[in-house]
A = this chain, B = another copy of it.
Amino acid sequence: MKTSPTLTSCNTLAPTLAIIGDKWTPLLIHALSQEPLRFCQLQDAVGGINPRTLSARLSNLEHEGIIIKVTRATMPPHTEYALTPKGTDLLPILRGMFDWGHKYH
């Protein structure tokens, strides 16, 4: 019988913390939970982030396979960012973190 994984090592939590432990990243992932957004829409959704930081966070999330860039064949074409299934799977965790913070702080 295969046993279910247990929390025996901090290595099993480190990859998740590396993504969601950032100040802006949880908010960006949440902003993309409804629909793909353009760079400027993400800037509006996550008020206060500067463009350089936003660009760096998006590059990292793309590198990690959390989001993908989608080019729309409009005239002129434009680029949107969308969550991948790997990114979508983070949403319940973020929701849980938010609910806990909201309940107790």
Contacts and interface: CB of A to CB of B under 8 A. Distances in A.
A101 B14 contact: yes
A5 interface: yes
The majority secondary structure among interface residues of chain A is helix
Contacts of A21: 17, 21
Nearest to A26: B13
Contacts of A23: 10
Interface stretch (A36-44, A53-61, A73-81, A87-95): A87-95
Contacts of A17: 20-21, 97
Interface of A: 5, 7, 10, 12-17, 20-21, 23-24, 26-27, 30, 65, 86, 89-90, 92-105
